[in-house]
Amino acid sequence: MNESRLKIFTGNANRPLAQKICQTIGVPLGEATVTSFPDGESFVKINENIRGADVYLIQPTCPPSNHHLMELLIMIDAARRASADRITAVIPFYGYARQDRKDQPRVPITAKLIANLLVAAGANRILTMDLHSQQIQGFFDIPVDHLYASPVFFEYFSKRIKSSNLVVCSPDVGGMKMASAYADVLDAGLGLIGKKRKNATTVEAINLVGHVKGCDVLLVDDITETAGTLTAAAELLRKKGARTVRAAVSHCILSKIAYERLSNGLIDELITTDSVPIKTRGLPIKVLSIAKLLGEAIVRINSNESVTGLFRIKGF
């Protein structure tokens, strides 16, 4: 690792994660002023020399999404104008990822727009984790290192889940590939739930493929915001005789209604990461840190080494 050239900065989206990453790899967090004017405009000033440096800007685009996205874009521009040699946008949670296709008339493909904005601002590379759909990597004309949170989850599961009747279940058709990979690694059964979305916040689980009676079920998904899909799936699984229901979700952007739904006891444990700030509020929510994973990726990119070993897992 070339510590003299490695510089890490962060905005206001998830400063604790950035600090953990720096502690993990033994590099100080860079000094930067990231604030707002009274009218809400973002202001960034990098308070140290980064000429010729390998700069990493850590900023998930979590709520308030637009504000944190603007902070990231302005940080990239500031680094570019300060003559940084290479700028890597480290985006643990890539917002707008669900708007990745034109599935209705006259709607945008916003995930592609965000990619264009990041490149136009001056990013040379993207480091992200568990994109909602992997084809988003193709929206960029610059290198994208796409990590998985699964190694962090598997380490936790190996210590906590001791079940001979484990079933990994996808709460919708789109997550079937992820569920299949988890089932393969955990040597578990596989299930699928068909859902019907009534509106933006309400989901109805209508069918289950697979056997769950008397089993311990693990729901896996990449993102939850209202917990509608998870709780609807958990309710159906309980009705079908599941003994316990856990959920592993990479990014939890929990809203008020999500906390209300999670408090109903349908899900025994929600396991997530600190890709975005999250409050447990006394609920059975376990937050695992991805700081070591991202830190190792930053070190390898800085040293021009392969990051493949960080997610070389059977099934993926």
What is the C-alpha to C-alpha distance for residues 8 and 77, in angstroms, rounded to an integer? 15
What is the C-alpha to C-alpha distance for residues 234 and 228, in angstroms, rounded to an integer? 10
Amino acid symbol at 274: D
Amino acid symbol at 170: S
What is the C-alpha to C-alpha distance for residues 179 and 243, in angstroms, rounded to an integer? 19
Is 286 annotated as catalytic?
Answer: no
Q: Which residue has the tokens 């946008």?
A: 89
Q: 265: Cβ–Cβ under 8 A, 6 or more apart, which residues?
A: none
Indicate which residue of 112, 195, 198, 239 is catalytic.
Answer: 195
- Cite the active site residues: 195
